[in-house]
Amino acid sequence: MIGGGKGSFIGDVHRKAAAIDGMIELVCGAFSSSAERSAASGKALYLPEDRCYGSFAEMIAKEKELPEGERMDFVSIVTPNHMHFEPAKLALENGFHVVCDKPMTLTIEESEILVELVKKTGLLFALTHNYTGYPMVKQARDMIANGDLGKIRKVQVQYLQGWLATEVEKTDNKQASWRVDPSKSGVGGALGDIGTHAENLLEFITGLQISEMAADLGRFGAGRTLDDDGNMLVRLSNGAKGSISFSQIATGEENNLGIRVYGEKGSLEWYQENPNKLYTRWLDQPLKIFTPGGNDLYDAAAMTSRIPSGHPEGYLEAFATVYRNFGKELTGRIEGTSVPAQDYPGVEDGLRGVRFIHAAVESDRNNAAWTSL
């Protein structure tokens, strides 16, 4: 693991999610930019002292020297945004597979370099858009891919939070302070943090791509240079129309991610805060609600659920699905067995997300002018 030391929210989430299916073990880490803090974090995680490193460069170099079967198999990058590219690039250049948080990089050029490195090396790269791991999200995707809804005409996505409704970055809030800092977050604030999840969910479920957007970004916190709110119209690759609304200043909201997709024959609706319900509506049938464990699910949804119908699965399990599918494919590589490509977001999805961020910022600078991705 790179990053994710003491005080990290997302590092702890990654560790718990990776461990859920018993496939992946944390064996080493460079948990902080401080060697002392990295060592202390590693000790708290019961790792041997000689595998708690002072930097990601040291970790990659030292692990590469270990015999195959003893060295780490892949790195998981859980740092703030500005520290994604260099560790990912160095890991790939030294033969290590990569799992990386989103957004993948700060610039389009950096993302393109990683895409080319993955192509050149043939190594695996997973991007943790964890909301793709919910069973009902996979059911929605496969219903649309199968043509159940007919041609898609309209898509609406929202991702609403309220935790930045006050200026918490001016308090001792580590999670807020780096997210409002352009040097660490990049050109997008809420746009990069949660807007990219909305973009990825739209493209993952519909199988369509955003071709153009008109974005209006807001900056409501006093002194904030990065957006904390945004609304955009989008045009999709099949001619469908859509909208995306995201915010971190939507007072009272917790983690309100939702999507509605309208086709010629039917529509569907899903919300992350109630993830076990997929609502579908039809021209000639009554409302139908799909749930995990049902006998009318497509294979990907049926295989994603771990427990019997009626028992709720949530955020950690969805996150774990990304790790499990990545782990299945990597295990096949290590053991030399034939494992088909697994279902998880990859390096190309990372490039799409970074292009989305930069197109939205460009559009906003030009008074919400239509901008191509």
Kindly report the three-state secondary structure assignment for every residue of 115-132: HHHHHHHCCCEEECCHHH
Instruction: Assign domain 136-320+351-372 to its CATH architecture.
Output: 2-Layer Sandwich (3.30)
Q: What is the reported pLDDT for 295?
A: 86
Kindly indicate the confidence band of residue 294, based on its pLDDT and cuts at 50, 70 and 90: confident
Q: What is the reported pLDDT for 251?
A: 98
Torsions phi, psi for 160 (to 5 deg): -120, 125
pLDDT score of 174 more than 90: no
| Residue of 249 and 7 predicted with greater confidence | 249
Q: What is the DSSP letter of 55?
A: S
Q: Give this prediction's pTM.
A: 0.96
Collapse the DSSP code of 344 into the 3-class scheme (helix H, G, I; strand E, B; otherwise coil) and give the result.
coil
Instruction: Dump strand ranges (E) for the chain.
Output: 74-77, 97-100, 125-127, 152-160, 210-218, 229-236, 241-247, 256-263, 266-271, 278-282, 288-290, 371-372
Domains in the chain: boundaries: 9-123, 136-320+351-372
> Which long-range CB contacts under 8 A does 87-94 form with residues at least 24 apart?
87/2, 87/56, 87/60, 88/114, 88/125, 89/113, 89/114, 89/117, 90/56, 90/57, 90/60, 91/60, 92/117, 92/118, 92/121, 92/123, 92/125, 93/117, 93/121, 94/60, 94/61, 94/64
Domain 9-123 grouped into CATH 3.90.330.10: no
Kindly indicate the confidence band of residue 18, based on its pLDDT and cuts at 50, 70 and 90: very high
Q: What is the DSSP letter of 150?
A: -
Task: Give one DSSP letter per residue of 167-227, joined into a string.
Answer: -GGGSS-HHHHHHT-HHHH-S-SHIIIIIHHHHHHHHHHH---EEEEEEEEE--STT--S-
